[in-house]
Amino acid sequence: MPKPHPWILRDRSFNWGDRTYVMGVLNITPDSFSDGGRFNSLETGLAQAQELVKAGVDMLDIGGQSTRPGAQSVPVEAELRRVVPVIEAIRHSADAALQTAVISVDTTRAEVARAAVRAGADLVNDISGGTFDRGMLSTVADLGVPIVLMHIRGTPATMQNQTNYEDLLGEIISALKRQINTAIAAGVNANRIIVDPGIGFGKSYPQNLEILRRIPDLQALGCPILIGPSRKSFIGWLLAQPDPTQRVWGTAAACCAAIAGGADILRIHDGREMVEVSRVADAVWRPQRSPAAMES
């Protein structure tokens, strides 16, 4: 299977397969599962964005709508008020590294995607794979930005009641393939699509582990692969750890498994720790790009 086509976003190249790229989560919400309320203001959000960029993440993923299990939808106006000012503040920051950071907007709404890209976002991360808002895919095509298509069953409010699969990976791949084709038909560039199997979204704890074991199966889709295991409840289940902020080591293990399986992007909360995990894991599983290889 040939490597997906490289991307240029802002001033940086994303050469898929050469190394693992790290996406730092910035939830501008009062109710996200692991950090709800911590960054729910312009000041705290901007400070966390700066910390993530300083830690070495390759992109920021900014969201104003919680997608934790059981979460209810918020009005679009509230989502816009949370997300757009933070993106604008990043773009007007005096910190050059922050100002030029690659920004993803985590939304399922075309209106929010359009406003975020106008404010300075570079790509869209849609947990519904473009299915919640019928205008999303045509909007992304019109904006000319990349999109992450994630697999989910139901909505965040109902998804954990829909974990009955006969062929877990087969059904995930089939659904993602259908959404890729729908996106292309809507005008999205086929080389600007990322796929995400949706760990924690309509999957049981053992099913999340199966996805991590079978990441190579997703390469048949021909797109970069994003994996988001960070602080998820299946890690808490394995470790008997109810506090998501105390799941850093479990997240590190899941990230290593994802890298070993060929993941291209990791979506994480703990910037410095997972950047270091990625660098070491890349040196093991992608030795042609390790520091030792480049110095020899």
Q: Please tell me which residue in 231, 232, 247, 286 is annotated as part of the active site.
A: 232
Is the Cα torsion angle 133, 228, 199, 15 positive or negative in sign? Answer: positive
User: Helices in 63-104 by DSSP H: which ranges?
Assistant: 76-91, 96-99
Which pairs count as long-range contacts for 214-221, CB under 8 Å and 24+ apart, including other chains?
A: 214/169, 214/261, 215/258, 215/261, 215/262, 215/263, 216/261, 216/262, 217/169, 217/173, 218/169, 218/172, 218/173, 218/176, 219/1, 219/262, 220/1, 220/173, 221/173, 221/176, 221/177, 221/180, 221/195
Q: Please tell me which residue in 153, 247, 267, 286 is annotated as part of the active site.
A: 267
Rounded-to-integer distance, Cα 241 and Cα 250, Å: 10
> Do 53 and 47 meet the contact criterion of CB atoms below 8 Å apart?
no
Rounded-to-integer distance, Cα 123 and Cα 141, Å: 11
The residue written with tokens 């700066």 in the block is 50
Rounded-to-integer distance, Cα 33 and Cα 30, Å: 9
> Do 186 and 141 meet the contact criterion of CB atoms below 8 Å apart?
yes
Beta strands at 12-14 and 7-9: parallel, antiparallel or unpaired:
antiparallel
Instruction: Check if 38 is active-site.
Output: no
26: DSSP letter: E
Residues sharing a CB contact under 8 Å with residue 75, sequence separation 6 or more, in sequence order? none
What DSSP element (H or E) covers 59?
A: strand 59-63
Instruction: Check if 232 is active-site.
Output: yes
Q: Known catalytic residues? A: 232, 267
